[in-house]
Amino acid sequence: MPSEALLRRYRNWYAKLLRLYPKPYRERFREGMEQTFNDLCRERVKAERGLFSFALWTFFETSAAIIRENETMILRCSMNRGSTKFLRIVISLIAMAALAVCIFPLPRMVPQEAAKTPDTAYLVYLFLVGAYIMAVLFFVALYQAFKLLTYMDGNKAFSELSVRALRHIKHSAITISLLMVAGIAVVMVLSAGTGEDIAGIVMMGLIFTFASSVVVAVAAVLQKQVRKAIDLKKEGLS
């Protein structure tokens, strides 16, 4: 029978997941959704039914709903020039922060870690190469997002240019996800039998993989919607 600590953990995870909803939706429905989830968990525990499968399916279903709601919010904001300016500022700040990490702490940290483990120093430098490859892909995605916002300001939100930008964002996020999965697999293989605690590293990798997967899903949905709008516009003109 699930312990109270496990129930509390599921509730905390669900509460954190709900934070990904757009703010208006979150403020309106978050409290009720948390209460409903808590009540359903209690009912399943009392009925001695599987709690893990229920929680997993609920998280999956909620993630899909979050993607849909954020997609709707982005499309609504596409007509708001002030919002696009704010988003461009946010993207610029994210890019500068990521660039600062790549230039300053990361190159200093890697040699220090390599010096601690000379026998496996090549793995640390391999990590550095992988980190810079993912950084390049991240900057490509940010640049394409910046261009997409520019297209929205120029009344070109539903154009081939937007479709191309979304495609680049999607492909960059897919590649980052694949690299993260490969990195997690390598870490697990190398640490097998050593007794090292890699739970934190694996969890961090899974979080980045999940975030990239969400970007892929959102970009794919937006690309499909923009393509549909373009086709409808062509049919109206013909």
pLDDT digits over 129-166, tens only?
999 999 999 999 999 999 998 888 787 888 899 999 99
Share in percent of the chain as helix, strand, coil (round to 5)? 85, 0, 15
> According to the model, what pLDDT value does residue 3 have?
60
* pLDDT digit string, tens, across residues 87-128: 888 889 899 999 998 898 888 888 887 787 787 778 788 888
Task: State the Cα–Cα distance between residues 162 and 150, nearest whole angstrom.
Answer: 10
Question: In the chain, what percentage of residues exceed pLDDT 90?
Answer: 21
> Torsions phi, psi of 198, nearest 5?
-110, 10
Task: State the Cα–Cα distance between residues 124 and 111, nearest whole angstrom.
Answer: 8
> According to the model, what pLDDT value does residue 178 have?
95
Q: What angle do CA 86, 168, 67 make, to 5 degrees?
A: 60
> Torsions phi, psi of 117, nearest 5?
-130, 80
Chain centroid to CA 54: 23
Task: State the Cα–Cα distance between residues 115 and 223, nearest whole angstrom.
Answer: 46
